[in-house]
Amino acid sequence: MSDALRGSRIFLGVCGGIAAYKAAALTSALVQRGAIVDVVMTAEAERFITPLTFSSLTARPVYASLWDAPERIPHIRLVREADVALVAPATANVIAKLAAGIADDLLTTALLAARIPRIVAPAMNDAMYDDPATRANLATLGTRGYELVDPERGFLAERELGVGRLAAEDRILDALARALERRSSLHGKRVVITGGPTREPFDPARFLSNASTGATAIALAREAALRGAGVTLLLGPTLLDSPAGVDVVRFSTAAELRDAALARAAGADLVIASAAVSDWRPAQRSDSKLHKSGKALAVELSPNPDVLAELGERKGSTFLVGFAAETDRHEERAREKLARKHLDAIAVNDVRDERGFGTGENSLVLLWGAQGRRELGTAAKDALAVRLLDAIGQLMESGSSACS
């Protein structure tokens, strides 16, 4: 394991489940690796294990109440001082509260206020873990940027075999180390990300658009912010929530995106252009709604500005990554775009049958230089955002690009 834990500040939430005793061994392992651990217990956790165990192991106070020294606003201070928050074991109850945004004790309130990576390691009876409510709550946490360390199959407290046992200590320590390594990778960098569709109106009620939802850009923005970057997200029309801790600028048309992107990208360290920009817009826009006449309607289209090409012309020392949504000859077309638009790298995805759009899974290949190629695989967009930023980070560090 890397040395990432040494000197790190860990917020450790302990909930009221049988596996609470394992949190003591985990705390000891963290302390032995040089981490500074602040333990926050739920009231029910104190029925299973005493605060004294944790305060002895960490040589620090253990927190349980919002109301001890409230003048120090403990729920905000604790997560601001920490590099990463871990809940282990996480009960079905706390998982449900986090998914619903309930903040009725110190642990849940602090996690709601956290702008640091949040890792949840559930542990419970297998039927509780299998229940659709718990599954839906965990899925919700996944889409909101929580990292889940799934429980394992094994001997449960009920003296039965099942899936629900707290993940092995090594897996939890690995997840923490990875989160800490990622967290510092974009520290102090300025990152601009574009995402979502454009809308090109031809009357006040109709527009030309596409199936993009901005989910990829939202996942990338959230992950870049967790890695310590100052992030601006230029986001087209979407019903998805924008991530916390990110400066969000909304656009609707390609022209609006162009103005916002050129203004914000100047001097940025990294620009990732994933917006699905319409190549055309209606040449005429009616001020009033067009009414049907029984005849065909011809709508003439004019070319839109090529926002990515303009960013490429002016990129200076910015690392510029484009996206290519293709239906055929994917990599050939993407490599041509990479060179012609002066990009440093391009992420290719297949959009046949609207694949790649929406909040489901996507498949990405990253291309750079004359031959650079890395398959990022097929995964949920949050997981792909992690892989893409890892790959981009390595390219930025090594100075590799199409233009170098």
Nearest to 84 by CA among 42, 45, 39, 115: 115
Residue type, 150: D
Nearer to ligand FMN, 92 or 347 (CB): 92
Catalytic residue, from 125, 137, 210, 362: name it.
210
Nearest to 45 by CA among 13, 2, 81, 4: 13
42-81 b/e with 16+ CB inside 10 Å = b?
Answer: bebbeebbebebbeebbeeebbbebeeeeeeebbeebbee
Asked if residue 223 lies in contact with residue 266, where contact means CB atoms within 8 angstroms, the answer is no
How distant, in Å, are the alpha carbons of 108, 281, 366, 372 from that of 317? Answer: 42, 31, 20, 20
User: Cβ 43 to ligand FMN, closest distance in Å?
Assistant: 6
The count of residues in the chain is 404
What is the spatial distance between Cα 211 and Cα 311, in angstroms, rounded to a whole number? 24
| Residue reference for tokens 């839906």 | 136
Q: Which residue is nearest to ligand FMN (CB)?
A: 17
Chain residues binding ligand FMN by CB under 6 A are 15-19, 42, 44-45, 91-94, 123-124, 128
Nearest to 261 by CA among 182, 200, 318, 331: 318
How distant, in Å, are the alpha carbons of 78, 268, 373, 375, 402 from that of 393? Answer: 29, 15, 15, 15, 15
User: Cβ 41 to ligand FMN, closest distance in Å?
Assistant: 8
Quick check: is 304 catalytic? no
User: Cβ 17 to ligand FMN, closest distance in Å?
Assistant: 3
User: Cβ 73 to ligand FMN, closest distance in Å?
Assistant: 21
User: Cβ 367 to ligand FMN, closest distance in Å?
Assistant: 45
Which helix (H) or strand (E) is 52 found in, with range?
Answer: helix 51-58
User: Cβ 40 to ligand FMN, closest distance in Å?
Assistant: 11
Nearer to ligand FMN, 17 or 322 (CB): 17
What is the spatial distance between Cα 389 and Cα 224, in angstroms, rounded to a whole number? 7
What is the spatial distance between Cα 82 and Cα 8, in angstroms, rounded to a whole number? 8
What is the spatial distance between Cα 253 and Cα 104, in angstroms, rounded to a whole number? 42
Nearer to ligand FMN, 30 or 128 (CB): 128
What is the spatial distance between Cα 15 and Cα 128, in angstroms, rounded to a whole number? 15
User: Cβ 85 to ligand FMN, closest distance in Å?
Assistant: 16
Catalytic residue ranges = 210
